[in-house]
Amino acid sequence: MQVSIETTSGLERRLTVGVPAERVDAEVDNRLKKAVKNVRLPGFRPGKVPLKVMRQRFGQGVRQEVLGEVMSQTFQDAVVQENLRPAGQPAIEARSIEAGRDLEYVATFEVFPEIAVKDIEGFAVEKPAADVSDEDVDTIIDIFRKQQGSWESVERPAAAEDKVIIDYTGTRDGEEFEGGSATDAELELGSGRMIPGFEEGVEGMQAGDEKTLSLTFPDDYHAEELKGAAVEFKIAVKDVKALQPAPLDEKLFASYGVESNDEAAFRQEVADNMRRELRNAVEARVKQQVMDALLEAHTDLDIPKALIKQEVGTLRQQMFQQFGGAAGQDLDLESLLPDDMFSERAERRVKLGLLLSELINKLEVTADADRVRQEIEEMASTYQDPEEVINWYYANQEQLANVESKVLEDQVVEKLLEQATITEQPCTYQEAISQGQQANG
């Protein structure tokens, strides 16, 4: 096998590989000979079809199969021989594939960059400093109660956050327009579902009231014919409903995993979950700043476009599934969710992945088994049968590897934090949670 290599630009390499004709031709003949015993052709006894006839009937197909396998194998051999680390699949162009002639092909691909991790000593980190107060617990419990609450009719004027049942008819210059009318429509006031002024106009109305609102559609409204249009809506309120939060009882407690009619135990469970979320949010915010510092020190790092493309595909599929898409649906995802939606985030993730991998090797970090166990136990603690979840993780190598990868990353972050100047930034629980969500976003 003959191999030559050239650098075309940056990380791109062009590998020219020559393979002796004998290697391909001999393998083609070998497969045709093996196939003879299973081939039945008119005029020939089973297992007695001449090799010449086999070549005429099946030679081309077998040759294509062998060529593909030989190019794949010799490419792997060539990159090992030349000490290359391909990033992504190569684009292979065959130049000579005829029988009796040496096989020659060109493989174009990118390689992983050589990374010299730079020192980031002295970088600044602001660590959110917050506690979970009784008032914070009350706020979350109020949210839980509303989530489990029910809508009840009330005999009073409608207010923001109420739900109204209405009939309405929209007209433009005295004529009804398409999509402007509804019967028994449910509308939560303050939801922003209707055009500006509609929901505000309904506030203060009671069941049985009627009113006509003079409104204007926004200039950026999605229907071209209604952009900036002056219209009137005749509205009749049929019912006003207010949300009645669920009572603090055994049913509510059970829905959040507390199997007793004990409000104190319920509050403790809520508080423990909030502290866990707070800890995760603080860690996420701190980790984001470490990663930002790492990227800032390596702005000149050249990364393979192939890896960015792969990451874009991963992010696209994740978003598709997040919004209810199912595997196997025949959709043009690249048109629905174009690359530029993900390219910046994908590039960040690829850069960080390469840098962290290099740091793991440089710092000789290995995943701490106790921390892996602790991570899994914490995730399992939110389930009804934690032991079952723990066993599932340890029986699933892919999931276990994901946890080990996170622990490795956390250990690297901790080592980098030893070089940082850390200041605590007092904030509320909700502010810390918001910062953590932004960091994870």
pLDDT, tens digit, for every residue of 157-210?
A: 999 999 999 999 999 999 999 999 999 999 999 999 999 999 999 999 999 999
Percent of the chain clearing pLDDT 90 (strictly above): 80
Pairing of strands 230-244, 210-216: antiparallel
Do 205 and 334 belong together in one domain?
A: no
Do 261 and 130 belong together in one domain?
A: yes
Average pLDDT across the chain, whole number? 92
CA atoms within 13 A on the CB side of 202: 35
Residue 128 covered by a domain: yes
Residue 44 covered by a domain: yes
pLDDT for res 330: 61
Q: How many CB atoms lie within 10 A of CB 196?
A: 12
Residue 376 covered by a domain: yes
Q: Which two tokens stand for residue 154?
A: 């009330």
Do 280 and 355 belong together in one domain?
A: yes
pLDDT, tens digit, for every residue of 295-332?
A: 999 999 999 999 999 999 999 988 888 877 655 566 77
Residue 139 covered by a domain: no
In the chain, how many domains are there? 3
Beta bridge partners of 117: none
pLDDT, tens digit, for every residue of 84-128?
A: 999 989 999 999 888 889 999 999 999 999 999 998 989 999 999
The phi and psi torsions of 285 (rounded to 5 degrees) equal -65, -45
pLDDT, tens digit, for every residue of 339-375?
A: 999 999 999 999 999 999 999 999 999 999 999 999 9
Do 264 and 354 belong together in one domain?
A: yes
- What value does the mean pLDDT take over residues 232-248? 97
pLDDT for res 325: 64
Do 261 and 404 belong together in one domain?
A: yes
Residue 143 covered by a domain: no
Domain boundary among 227, 244, 261: 244
Do 234 and 263 belong together in one domain?
A: no
Residue 317 covered by a domain: yes
User: In this structure, are residues 47 and 33 in contact, taking their beta carbons and an 8 Å threshold?
Assistant: no
User: Nearest-CA neighbor of 280 among 386, 379, 365?
Assistant: 379
pLDDT for res 261: 85
Residue 47 pLDDT > 90: no
pLDDT for res 78: 96
Do 57 and 95 belong together in one domain?
A: yes
pLDDT, tens digit, for every residue of 48-94?
A: 788 888 888 888 899 999 999 999 999 999 999 999 999 989 999 99
What's the CATH number where 198 sits? 3.10.50.40
Do 193 and 215 belong together in one domain?
A: yes
Residue 266 covered by a domain: yes
Do 260 and 237 belong together in one domain?
A: no
Residue 140 covered by a domain: no
Do 322 and 410 belong together in one domain?
A: yes
User: Nearest-CA neighbor of 164 among 173, 175, 156?
Assistant: 156
Q: CA 110, CA 306: separation in Å to the nearest integer?
A: 7
Beta bridge partners of 232: 171, 214
What's the CATH number where 73 sits? 3.30.70.1050
Do 365 and 338 belong together in one domain?
A: yes
Q: Which range marks the domain in which residue 274 is found?
A: 124-134+252-440
